[in-house]
Amino acid sequence: MSLERIDRVAVLGAGNMGHGITEVTALAGYDVTMRDIKDEFVEDGYESIEWSLQKLEDKELIDESADEVLSRIETTTDLEAAVADADLVIEAAPEDLDLKHDIFTDLEEYTSGDTLLATNTSSLPISDIAAAVDSSERVLGLHFFNPPVKMDLVEVIYGEDTSDEAAEAGYEWVESIGKTPIYVRKDVRGFVVNTIVGPFGGEPAFMVSNDETTIREADATMVHERGYPMGPFELGDLTGIDVGYHVRKEGDSPIPPITEEKVEAGDLGQKTGAGFYDYEDGDGADYEPEDAGDFDWLRVEARMINRAAFLVGEDVATPEEVDTGVQLGLGFPEGICRRADKIGLETVLEKLETLYEETGSDRFEPHPYLEQLVAAGKTGEEAGAGFYDYDDDDLGPYHDLNYELEDGVLQVELDRPSRMNALSEDLLSEIDDLFSSVDTDEVRVATIEGSGDRAFSAGADISGFADANPTDLMDVSPGFETVNDFPRPVVAKIDGFCLGGGLELALACDLRIATERSSFGAPEIGLGLIPGGGGTQRLTRILGETRAKELVFRGNHIDADRAADWGLINRSVEREEFDDTVGEFLDDLRNGPPIGLKVAKRVMNEGQDASLDAALAMESQGFGLLSSTDDVLEGTAAFAEDREPEFEGK
């Protein structure tokens, strides 16, 4: 079993998850058959795929036509025909164990022993499903998140008998379709993401049930002070209160009284018009920042951190996998293990111990792994170790930033795709640390790009600055200035949205190359703010007063072609030409004279703020400095000999 052997995929189920998985599979170039039990189910699923692909084509988010992708999709109601030639089967049927047993019993009969059998279950144990087949070593979980086309995360889950070969093949296949897999190495209920999100919704519900807080107070605090994308009650209404209720009931977990009351009353959230909020006669989730009050957020986060300690301590997942899971699967502003290290694990442990002593409830009992970390003095960032190790002598570890230094090119990737690479305080600090600490003797040129396929960076993550004092925000972030002052050329590779703080980061770079589908803007004025990070000043210097004021005052987006016409970017190119164009720039910069480029950048940057006479003096000094370098001698000799120079930065 290996990725090389996966050519044809079968997806069983044409509902929201089934047709979504079918679509992403076909988008990745695989032939795929989508099967359901009735023709109308299959037709509805196929029409949903057609609609989605046309939207993607219209927005230029795919490199081929919708019709080309659709040509790789077949549909049927015949199970045997659907899976006969499949190398990978993904079951996406309703969450009914008996139904899944029936399907997998048939799969064992209709597929060869080498066919990889996966289930997309979100709540049933993989081992229970695999019990229906004799060859349970080839059964694993591939848990996609809804909607699969937009959500990057897939949990790759081991059942009790799943072989490493099967899990690795599943992991590699997930990567091949452009998704981000994480291993779940033990078949625990809830896997990784739902294990963490349980306390996020459950604990506030217990607190409201006990009259310790209000729904709006809890939601406002978790969103406006702690930076989560939704409040716990707002999220419950969105996903369906009954969904969480049944998960808790099946897992024999305590159910908060308010949750039980809502289910018994039939108030299940948005789908019924009322839940924790009123969506028919009211304004829905209408909490405001001032509703936050004194909600005990540490109680909620301590429980989530304790569940993370369970996952790590029981070898279910690594801290990196847990954090990737909650960021991509739940949109959390940062990983829960990372946040734990910032809070301090001793603070978390003390909170849990106090609550456990006061209530006697098992849900507060600290996990032994958390106790072990604290006992060993590994209490987080300040101690130099916690869930992660922190070594000041090395670069990183970075949690929102990826980098690679190869052949003189420092490639930097903003890694917050679930937040469209929004610039949080942590991410800006990591940018500052990397560009301040990297050995510039090893670097000829640097690039910055965004992860995912939607944005370079869609702006500043305002929620990430929730705890900052207004006076602190008046200081220009060192991240922008470090990039601006980096002694090597920096190229912004822009594909998608480049807005607000993202635009300000791109402006701090020396050169900007963008795909035609990219858009640019300074939308801060719509929030009653102005661009930060040097945005107002760099925009004026690059565009001139008239165009800079239009961009800032109106807050509108402009497309890449107009950005190129205005001089905001160096090139606007089609996506298929993007990498080649960037490569041409990098070749010139990587092979150029390092000292010459360093001096040129400094003189041009500093000369903007000086009088013409002073700027000319700087230019003259730079010219004189360079004239005595070995690089100038090499450049002169290469010119005379009609060959390419080989600069060494001396």
Q: How does pLDDT run across 245-277, given as a tens digit for each residue?
A: 888 887 788 999 999 999 999 999 999 999 999
Token duo for residue 424: 């949080």
The mean pLDDT value for 113-119 works out to: 94
With tokens 């903007």, the residue in question is 608
The mean pLDDT value for 199-218 works out to: 96
User: Domain extents for the chain?
Assistant: 8-187, 193-298, 401-584, 594-641
Write out pLDDT tens, residues 323-350: 999 988 998 888 999 999 999 999 999 9
Q: How far is CA 529 from CA 467, 474, 532, 536, in A?
A: 18, 12, 9, 11
- HEC assignment per residue over 115-159: CEEEECCCCCCHHHHHCCCCCHHHEEEEEECCCCCCCCEEEEEEC
pLDDT at residue 454 in the model? 86
**C-alpha span between 470 and 74 (Å, rounded):** 57
CA 414 to chain CA centroid, Å, is: 9
Higher pLDDT, 522 or 469: 522
Give the right CATH number for 8-187 from 3.40.225.10, 3.60.150.10, 3.40.50.720, 3.40.50.2000.
3.40.50.720
If you classify domain 193-298 with CATH, what class do you get? mainly alpha
Helix (H/G/I), strand (E/B), else coil: 30: coil
Cβ within 8 Å of residue 650, ≥6 positions away: 595, 629, 630, 631
pLDDT at residue 238 in the model? 92
pLDDT at residue 273 in the model? 95
**C-alpha span between 179 and 183 (Å, rounded):** 13
pLDDT at 538 over 70: yes
- Given a contact cutoff of 8 angstroms between Cβ atoms, the answer to whether 203 and 233 are in contact is no
Sheet harboring 31-35: ordered strands across? 73-76, 31-35, 8-12, 88-91, 116-119, 139-144, 153-158, 180-184
Using 50, 70 and 90 to split pLDDT, how confident is the model at 470?
very low
**C-alpha span between 358 and 221 (Å, rounded):** 24
Q: Give the DSSP letter of residue 366.
A: P
Question: 484-502: buried (b, 16+ CB within 10 Å) or exposed (e) per residue?
Answer: bbbebbbbbbbbbbbbbbb
Residues linked to residue 449 through DSSP beta bridges, in sequence order: 413, 493
Write out pLDDT tens, residues 354-371: 999 999 999 999 999 999
Higher pLDDT, 596 or 99: 99
Q: How far is CA 508 from CA 423, 447, 536, 539, 610, in A?
A: 14, 12, 12, 10, 19
- Given a contact cutoff of 8 angstroms between Cβ atoms, the answer to whether 141 and 184 are in contact is yes
- Given a contact cutoff of 8 angstroms between Cβ atoms, the answer to whether 232 and 301 are in contact is no
- Flag the least confident range among 118-122, 143-147, 499-503, 605-609: 605-609
Residue 512 parent element (H or E): strand 511-515
CA 122 to chain CA centroid, Å, is: 20
Amino acid 601 reads K
- Given a contact cutoff of 8 angstroms between Cβ atoms, the answer to whether 167 and 156 are in contact is yes
- Given a contact cutoff of 8 angstroms between Cβ atoms, the answer to whether 594 and 631 are in contact is yes
CATH number of 401-584: 3.90.226.10
pLDDT at residue 471 in the model? 39
- pTM here? 0.77
Q: Closest Cα to residue 34, out of 53, 56, 9?
A: 9
The number of residues in the chain equals 650
- Given a contact cutoff of 8 angstroms between Cβ atoms, the answer to whether 139 and 124 are in contact is no
pLDDT at residue 641 in the model? 78
- Given a contact cutoff of 8 angstroms between Cβ atoms, the answer to whether 173 and 3 are in contact is yes
**C-alpha span between 400 and 510 (Å, rounded):** 22
176: number of Cβ within 10 Å = 14
Using 50, 70 and 90 to split pLDDT, how confident is the model at 474?
very low
What's the Rg (C-alpha) of the chain?
A: 27
Cite the active site residues. 504, 524
Helix (H/G/I), strand (E/B), else coil: 236: helix
pLDDT at residue 463 in the model? 56
Q: Closest Cα to residue 346, out of 319, 323, 320, 378?
A: 378
pLDDT at residue 85 in the model? 92
What backbone phi and psi angles, to 5 degrees, belong to 401?
-145, 135
Give the right CATH number for 594-641 from 1.10.1740, 2.70.150, 1.10.287, 1.10.12.
1.10.12
pLDDT at residue 248 in the model? 85
Positive or negative: CA dihedral 479, 480, 486, 491: positive
**C-alpha span between 217 and 201 (Å, rounded):** 14
Using 50, 70 and 90 to split pLDDT, how confident is the model at 4?
low
**CA trace torsion 275, 281, 287, 290 (10° rounding):** -140
- Flag the least confident range among 387-391, 395-399, 458-462: 395-399
**C-alpha span between 268 and 523 (Å, rounded):** 36
**C-alpha span between 256 and 450 (Å, rounded):** 41
pLDDT at 226 over 70: yes
250: number of Cβ within 10 Å = 12
Residue 547 parent element (H or E): helix 545-554
With tokens 């690594």, the residue in question is 318
Angle between helices 193-209 and 297-313 (to 10 degrees): 150
Helix (H/G/I), strand (E/B), else coil: 76: strand
Cβ within 8 Å of residue 374, ≥6 positions away: 345, 346, 349
Q: How far is CA 520 from CA 437, 495, 498, 506, in A?
A: 30, 11, 5, 10
Write out pLDDT tens, residues 132-145: 999 999 999 999 99
